């Protein structure tokens, strides 16, 4: 297993990226290759404690920004940390993975251009784990494909089911289709067609439609939707979580009685905040690409990067790529 980390991607690179990598090698006993400005990485590594043999550096000269046109940047910035990382994964094929908090668009475009799709996959999907009432729920697509066909959503269900089986050790994960109602006849023409295709897919445990209000109850293990809707849902959940926690904090601090009560439940509030923090998730894999690619949040801190690396380890240990290939091959033969 070879884990490459884009040290230059994200709002707080390279400091938080490097610190998160140091924390990861200390906790998970893995070897990491950091990609980026050699002098900047060396400077940040001097500030943290880690086994020296656990981290090496692959130099890069440029960075792809969040506002750059993805495909143009991938073609023109061959010396960027993202491109060098993707090339490294391509050389190692299924034995390596790249973790980056950089541009989602550049990672997707670069992943398709440099690594390609798994045979039979029409579109890769960004699969984001969501903390829910009793367990983690996987949302896909959460931003890779704004425009989708029903066949894409069908494959998202297969991809999510395979990932959930092998990373969360659930034999028959429940797959739900995000919709405005639970009835089969509800929804747009896209969703209705996707419902029909998912119902006919023998390799998954499709439970039907699920409404957004039921997501946090954990009614489904895998939630399928298009990338436009999925990204709006994801950001709404992040914003709502922040709004509720900040509102609760203000209410507690607004009176002496509140402050006393807040002190008594401080540990419980911290536990609640941690459980629903995106930092706990760390990263989301691009499923369907012929190579390991984990997208960390652009605003990732060191703790989030450490957890993104944990996701990368689970991805590789689960042998996700070969299992997707096998399942898709069976599905294609059955048609």
Quote the domain boundaries for residue 116: 1-121+288-318
Q: Do 100 and 199 reside in the same domain of the chain?
A: no
Buried b (16+ CB within 10 A) or exposed e, 253-282: eeeeeeeeebeeeeeeeeeebeebbbbebb
pLDDT at 272 over 70: no
Q: Do 175 and 82 reside in the same domain of the chain?
A: no
Is 39 part of any domain? yes
Is 327 part of any domain? no
pLDDT at 237 over 90: no
Is 329 part of any domain? no
- If one counts every other C-beta atom within 10 angstroms of the C-beta of residue 199, the result is 13
Q: Do 218 and 143 reside in the same domain of the chain?
A: yes
Q: Give the pLDDT mean for 255-277.
A: 67
Q: Do 176 and 97 reside in the same domain of the chain?
A: no
Q: State pLDDT tens for residues 199-236.
A: 999 899 999 999 998 988 888 999 999 999 999 988 87
Is 303 part of any domain? yes
* Length of the chain measured in residues: 335
Structural domain total, the chain: 2
* Banded model confidence at residue 268, pLDDT cuts 50, 70, 90: low
Q: Do 52 and 39 reside in the same domain of the chain?
A: yes
Q: What is the pLDDT of residue 328?
A: 85
- Taking alpha carbons only, the member of 51, 40, 35 closest to residue 3 is 35
Q: Give the pLDDT mean for 156-173.
A: 94
pLDDT: is 8 or 254 the higher one?
8
Is 146 part of any domain? yes
pLDDT at 260 over 80: no
- For residues 75 and 278, give the distance between their C-alpha atoms in angstroms, rounded to a whole number: 31
Q: Do 108 and 191 reside in the same domain of the chain?
A: no
Q: Do 7 and 134 reside in the same domain of the chain?
A: no
Q: Is the dihedral of CA 74, 79, 82, 86 positive or negative?
A: positive
Q: What is the pLDDT of residue 21?
A: 97
CATH code (residue 53): 3.40.718.10
Q: Do 31 and 116 reside in the same domain of the chain?
A: yes
């Amino acid at each position: 297993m070879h884990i490459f980390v884009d040290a230059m991607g994200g709002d707080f690179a390279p400091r938080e990226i490097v610190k998160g990598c140091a924390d990861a090698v200390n906790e998970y006993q893995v070897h990491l290759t950091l990609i980026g400005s050699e002098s900047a990485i060396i400077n940040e590594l001097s500030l943290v404690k880690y086994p020296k043999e656990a981290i090496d550096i692959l130099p890069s000269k440029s960075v792809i920004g969040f506002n750059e046109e993805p495909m143009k940047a991938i073609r023109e910035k061959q010396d960027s940390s993202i491109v060098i990382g993707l090339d490294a994964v391509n050389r190692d094929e299924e034995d390596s993975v790249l973790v980056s908090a950089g541009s989602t668009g550049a990672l997707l475009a670069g992943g398709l251009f440099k690594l390609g799709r798994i045979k039979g996959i029409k579109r890769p999907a960004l699969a984001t784990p969501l903390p829910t009432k009793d367990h983690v729920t996987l949302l896909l697509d959460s931003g890779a494909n704004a425009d989708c066909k029903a066949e894409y959503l069908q494959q998202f269900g297969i991809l999510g089911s395979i990932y959930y089986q092998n990373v969360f050790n659930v034999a028959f994960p429940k797959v739900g289709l995000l919709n405005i109602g639970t009835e089969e006849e509800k929804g747009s023409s896209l969703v209705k067609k996707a419902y029909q295709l998912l119902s006919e897919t023998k390799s998954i445990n499709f439970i039907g439609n699920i409404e957004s209000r039921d997501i946090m109850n954990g009614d489904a293990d895998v939630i399928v939707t298009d990338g436009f809707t999925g990204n709006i849902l994801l950001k709404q959940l992040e914003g709502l979580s922040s709004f509720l926690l900040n509102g609760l904090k203000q209410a507690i601090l607004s009176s002496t009685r509140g402050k006393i009560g807040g002190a008594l439940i401080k540990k419980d509030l911290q536990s609640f905040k941690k459980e629903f923090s995106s930092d706990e998730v760390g990263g989301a894999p691009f499923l369907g690409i012929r190579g390991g690619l984990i997208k960390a949040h652009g605003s990732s801190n060191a703790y989030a990067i450490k957890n993104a690396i944990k996701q990368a380890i689970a991805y590789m240990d689960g042998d996700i790529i070969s299992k997707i290939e096998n399942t898709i091959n069976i599905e294609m033969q059955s048609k």
